[in-house]
Amino acid sequence: MHTRLSDPFKPYPMIQDYLDFNAMKELPESHAWLPLDELPSTYGSSTPDPVPLINLKDTNAMKLVGHACKTWGVFQVTNHGVPINLLEEMEAAGRKLFALPIHQKLKAARSPNGVSGYGVARISTFFPKLMWSEGFTIIGSPYEHARKLWPNRYSRFCDVIEDYKEEMNKLAQTLMELMLGSLGVTMDDVKWASTQGSCPALQLNSYPACPDPDRAMGLAAHTDSTLLTILHQNNTSGLQVYKEGTGWITVPPIPGALVINVGDLLHILSNGLYPSVLHRAMVNRTQHRLSVAYLYGPPSNVKISPLSKLTDQKHPPLYRPVTWSEYLGTKAKHFNKALSSVRLCAPLNGFPDAKDHTGVRVG
């Protein structure tokens, strides 16, 4: 039997708090996070190394991808094959959706124990304060939700979503090939890798201009529960990644480029060689920021465990096998402890996974 991607969330219903951001002239207490300087940040300090930018047509692309996965867990790609006009159309579709009046958006509200639809980020429940963002999650066909938002004119929106998912799926396959290849593993070694991934999720994020950006949080620090995530951000910066030894680094928007994140399932598959990246989104005073994340995972019936080619007596498998949906359930319950909760043996230094103590505050 196939579990649906939405099933793991059923036991963790979520009460939604909605805010009409555009009506807010100042930051309400409910959305005021403590000064963010508790977390080490490179903001304003000497220039850190930039996040790698990789031309996918480069003959060296596989090596570059491997290096970026090992040392950063994030990189940007150009020459990725996704038509620029599709990226623009997707952005315009997102803009149109979030520009709807709040009562209209609520017609497609995510149900308390569901996963798709309009609402605040799922991880909100783990934090004492609310985030300055709204989201729209699409799993499977966007039709049911789009029809509620635009009763007579939903087909254009649905077409763009379907085209976008198709292009993203092709790119995700290419990236998997490069990532696995850089680990010395072929697509033949991993039978499921060349089959259609399981039903991916598309997450549209909207970060309205904020009257007090220094005290607000767009999307709190997290890792994605995916193999990899492909992110398109509009020309407004806000995405930051955490780099051990350096701190928070902004991933600058580059027109036409896409951001690739290593997710927790690739972390497991690579036996920790390609660590998932901790990231967050900041907001700003004047511009409305939009992003679209394509969350890519394995087919639903596949158990992900460390690749056998990467393990031996000296390098035992560090994680137990999990399916994508089992892992999403673990994440819904344990959030930033999810990865260490599927860990088999403690690392040599006696600490659980690094991300458990990098300052992600859990409420």
Ligand X SMILES: O=C(O)CCC(=O)C(=O)O
Interface residues with ligand J5X (CB under 6 A) are 5, 115, 121-123, 137, 201, 203, 222, 224-226, 293, 295, 328, 331
Phi, psi of 63 (to 5 degrees): -65, -40
Decide if 52 contacts 64 (C-beta within 8 A): yes
Nearer to Fe ion, 77 or 185 (CB): 77
Question: Does 304 help bind ligand X (rule: CB under 6 A)?
Answer: no
Residues 330 and 11: their CA atoms lie apart, in Å, by: 11
Partnered with residue 206 across adjacent β-strands are: 134, 290
Residues 114 and 8: their CA atoms lie apart, in Å, by: 9
Rg of the chain over Cα atoms, rounded to whole angstroms, equals 20
Shortest distance (Å) from residue 281 CB to ligand X: 4
Question: Does 134 help bind Fe ion (rule: CB under 5 A)?
Answer: no
201 contacts which partner out of ligand J5X, Fe ion, ligand X, none, CB within 5 to 8 A by kind? ligand J5X
Q: Which one among 89, 91, 224, 353 touches ligand X, defined by CB under 6 A?
A: 224
Question: Does 264 help bind Fe ion (rule: CB under 5 A)?
Answer: no
Shortest distance (Å) from residue 288 CB to ligand X: 12
Residues 6+ apart with CB under 8 A from 134: 21, 98, 105, 118, 119, 120, 205, 206, 208
Nearer to ligand X, 238 or 272 (CB): 238
Return the range that interacts with Fe ion (CB under 5 A); candidates 2-10, 41-49, 90-98, 222-230: 222-230
Strand pairing of 219-222 and 228-233? unpaired
Question: Does 293 help bind ligand X (rule: CB under 6 A)?
Answer: yes
Placement of tokens 């930039």 in the chain: 50
Set 289, 320, 343, 361: catalytic member: 289
Using DSSP's 3-state secondary structure scheme, residue 230 falls into: strand
- The arrangement of strands across the sheet holding 53-55 comes to 53-55, 74-78, 258-262, 228-233, 289-296, 201-207, 134-139, 117-119
Decide if 132 contacts 120 (C-beta within 8 A): no
Residues 59 and 272: their CA atoms lie apart, in Å, by: 26
Residues 208 and 195: their CA atoms lie apart, in Å, by: 38
Return the range that interacts with ligand X (CB under 6 A); candidates 93-101, 230-238, 309-317, 341-349: 230-238
Q: Which one among 134, 224, 264, 353 touches Fe ion, defined by CB under 5 A?
A: 224
Nearer to ligand X, 89 or 224 (CB): 224
Binding to ligand X by CB under 6 A, coded x per residue (else -) over 245-284, reads ----------------------------------x-x---
Shortest distance (Å) from residue 205 CB to ligand X: 4
Helix (H) or strand (E) holding 240: strand 239-243
281 contacts which partner out of ligand J5X, Fe ion, ligand X, none, CB within 5 to 8 A by kind? ligand X
With CB atoms as reference, the residue minimizing the distance to Fe ion is 224
Binding to ligand X by CB under 6 A, coded x per residue (else -) over 177-216, reads --------------------------x-x-----------
**Could you confirm whether 289 is annotated as catalytic?**
yes
> Please, what is the end-to-end C-alpha distance for the chain in angstroms?
36
Question: Does 223 help bind ligand X (rule: CB under 6 A)?
Answer: no
Residue ranges binding Fe ion (CB under 5 A) = 224
Residue ranges binding ligand X (CB under 6 A) = 203, 205, 219, 224, 231, 233, 238-239, 279, 281, 291, 293
Catalytic (active-site) positions? 289
